[in-house]
Structure 1
């Protein structure tokens, strides 16, 4: 129940500009709103040309969430952050990380414009942790919202000590398993590619590790997960061995936060794909979607098409961006000759955004071919849909291990390891999930995960209690200032 005091307080959320960070922040904002707080999400304008970092989607999100205030910081001139070192151009993601840090002054000015008595807290994400310095100067509680799994957080907290004990990077270990507290053995190759070099030899690796290290400087970490789902990693985050010589701030598992359908209300009219799903039998459709940054070559896309056709299963396929193009491609030329005509009664190919949560929750949807982004993983769990895992980038290979080994709610398309998944494997794995006893067992386990997730989010459930504990801890911090 909201109080008069909480209605006067403002929570400032400061996400990294990627869609995969902004969308979960919107979900978090809605939790604060339900507790009676005002919420402002502070955005920056990223440099043009970065995939998955465009302003169009964030503008649409802002327009469809009028209860949340959005504030865009004044752009910083390009000439400083686009400079290169010698003849070698810096990685675009490295430039963006440096740019974000340069926004600290502008963020401080905005926070300073809010009366101290009204400023409840600042919440950063995993790539904006440097902003804790801004909050510290203003004596404002600062927290990090970790939008990936608790397992990923456990890896990141243990990573600096692992790298410090080596003279070479992790890339040379290949498939050699690494031991992290709270996780199954993890092949070195399954870590984020950016941290495989040694920090002493690679500026991007060094910068990312430094940014992640700052998580421990926050007053606490909100994680988009629930304790039952990741009991091992959550316990590891409370183990002194997780970060030798330091103790992590409190960890609050407050998820799963996945929105309420239609991607937070982005679509005014019901999407055509949902009408198509209405006409399909229950649990008969394989849904394929590879996220906002998913990109595959023409050859890989044609292999998927051939495998789907061979499987004889119904499918809804959100076509990923075609590598090497600007996104505008002719379907007839892209897909195998005659594919669309032969499959017009069994499949639908879409080239634009679809309301993923609504598709997963539709009674006709039976399986999900996914890049294993954490947001997508949680949405599949909340829909009770098993996953076929095709990780593409970032921490998605780690998520694949969680999905297939720790949780047992999906299978991997093994060809991704060699960079090419053949049609025969697409056919076999789709049939396995859709037709076999193993597929039925996967579905039963993910349905149990959904049940536990709903319990965690109920009044008095573990995630609801964790959020209440977080609010109490913020209040205690404020009283000590």
Structure 2
């Protein structure tokens, strides 16, 4: 059996290049699992910083290269500098590694291509140099690729304005609802950010294809616009987490005890609160969230990861004793350092998800039909919340300064009020559509088969 399996994979090696952030590691390893199930042999190349757990994926080969990062530098506030540093540090060792394996490769066991996280744009330059197919993988919404449609001015000074760059794209109500223009303007004062956008845009245009972790019906018009703008095939094969087995790629230890706590709660009664792996806040914001959750008088499961509050390892000393006593006495609160999120969202007791609106979290919520309370922080999150609240209408946004009364009102609007019930029904409708897309002859199923054929024919 093993010999037959190895023969099946002969000549089908793929090198996948990972960006070292939890929200990027997860989908890349899920994609690797999907492609492995299609008969490809997988090599995972990653920077030393935030290395994924190799033992969780024994079927893959892992290669670590210097990434030029430290725990201090890889933070949300320095994301542009982080991307730049990684691309400077990783390009030369990546090229040396590929040259070594190409030098000794069996012509019948060739490297079929390089698939790289769009932030790791050096991989496309190396692939071009070595005449290998390069495929860009987008871990965010397809619409976010339009935010990279800014170009360096022909005279080499500055950048063409956003409106002129997208003059070939017809304006439509749905694009306007996403407020792409506002998102671009937010980065206009940072020349380094614009430079990185231009570099990522060029590498994406040079790719032989684009893989997007999305579902066709969620972004149908934007997928068409992206393909028109970049000019290469685009494969929306998401959500990856539904197509890949459930092995964990979390960098943090998941506390599964919260599942037994959920088992004791009423159907759709719990608000699940998690702001992802990189968000930070100050002590006052933490206290306002705690007070709002307590005052809502609804059960809550709250993820407070170590380091969430700047300068504090965890929350025992930050939250007042009165809060802990109230939570323990009423038995309606559960606080953990990290949760098995996909399992939590699939649990029948969870009726709402208060999130930072990372794309992975949104897809996981959509697939389980869970409505959302939104608090975007940085990056693509302001774009994502427009999808949730204005286009799909499956969530509410908490805007402005975090304040306990506002938090309590938002939670109760989502979980109890008639407005929230309508939102819940729309969320459940999206879940049904997502399940269909994953079934045989669904859009994701077909796009995956087309991607495989594209790789094999390159």
TM-score range relative to shorter protein: 0.7 to 0.9
Which of 320, 340, 353 lines up with 1:355 in the alignment? 340
- For the residues of structure 1 that align with 2:420 and 2:342, how far apart are their CA atoms? 21
Which of 118, 130, 137 lines up with 2:129 in the alignment? 137
- For the residues of structure 1 that align with 2:216 and 2:263, how far apart are their CA atoms? 35
- Pairwise CA distance, 1:111: 4.5
1:347-372 deviation digits (Å, cap 9, x = unpaired):
0111x221111111111111101010
Give the corresponding residue for 1:146: 138
Give the corresponding residue for 2:431: 450
SS in 1 for 2:27: helix
Which of 215, 220, 225 lines up with 2:214 in the alignment? 225
Q: 1:181 to 1:435 in 2, by over 3 A?
A: closer
Is 1:460 aligned with 2:445?
A: no
1:385-441 deviation digits (Å, cap 9, x = unpaired):
1111111111100001111111111110112xxxx2111111111101110222112
Tell whether the 8 Å contact from 2:150 to 2:197 is kept in structure 1 after alignment.
Answer: no
Q: 1:204 to 1:316 in 2, by over 3 A?
A: same
Is 1:10 aligned with 2:20?
A: no
Superposed counterparts of 1:102-121, under 5 Å: 102-109=92-99, 111-112=101-102, 113-118=104-109, 119-121=111-113
Superposed counterparts of 1:402-481, under 5 Å: 402-415=387-400, 420-477=401-458
SS in 1 for 2:441: coil
Superposed counterparts of 1:296-307, under 5 Å: 296-307=281-292
- Pairwise CA distance, 1:303: 0.3
Which of 151, 164, 170 lines up with 1:160 in the alignment? 151
Unaligned stretches of 5+ residues in structure 1: 47-53, 83-89, 169-177
Cα RMSD between the aligned structures? 3.1
Tell whether the 8 Å contact from 1:304 to 1:426 is kept in structure 2 after alignment.
Answer: yes
Give the corresponding residue for 1:338: 322
Give the corresponding residue for 1:174: none
Superposed counterparts of 1:144-293, under 5 Å: 144-156=136-148, 158-160=149-151, 164-166=159-161, 183-187=175-179, 191=183, 195-197=187-189, 202-239=191-228, 243=229, 247-258=230-241, 259-261=244-246, 263=248, 271-293=256-278
Unaligned stretches of 5+ residues in structure 2: 74-79, 164-169
- For the residues of structure 2 that align with 1:128 and 1:103, how far apart are their CA atoms? 13
- Pairwise CA distance, 1:187: 4.2
Which of 280, 298, 301 lines up with 1:313 in the alignment? 298
Tell whether the 8 Å contact from 2:15 to 2:45 is kept in structure 1 after alignment.
Answer: yes
SS in 1 for 2:302: strand
- For the residues of structure 2 that align with 1:347 and 1:37, how far apart are their CA atoms? 45
- For the residues of structure 1 that align with 2:47 and 2:276, how far apart are their CA atoms? 22
Tell whether the 8 Å contact from 1:124 to 1:144 is kept in structure 2 after alignment.
Answer: yes
- For the residues of structure 1 that align with 2:24 and 2:250, how far apart are their CA atoms? 17
1:454-480 deviation digits (Å, cap 9, x = unpaired):
211122211111111122222322xxx
SS in 2 for 1:295: coil
1:27-86 deviation digits (Å, cap 9, x = unpaired):
11111121111111111113xxxxxxx33xx23xx221212222213x37789xx9xxxx
Q: 1:298 to 1:265 in 2, by over 3 A?
A: closer
1:176-225 deviation digits (Å, cap 9, x = unpaired):
xx968962344468527883326xxx234313421232101000001001
- Pairwise CA distance, 1:5: 4.5
- Structure 2 length normalisation: TM-score? 0.85
- Pairwise CA distance, 1:164: 3.1
SS in 2 for 1:296: coil
Give the corresponding residue for 2:61: 69
Counting matched residue pairs gives 431
- Pairwise CA distance, 1:140: 2.2
- For the residues of structure 2 that align with 1:194 and 1:471, how far apart are their CA atoms? 38
Tell whether the 8 Å contact from 1:195 to 1:209 is kept in structure 2 after alignment.
Answer: no
Give the corresponding residue for 1:87: none
SS in 1 for 2:335: strand
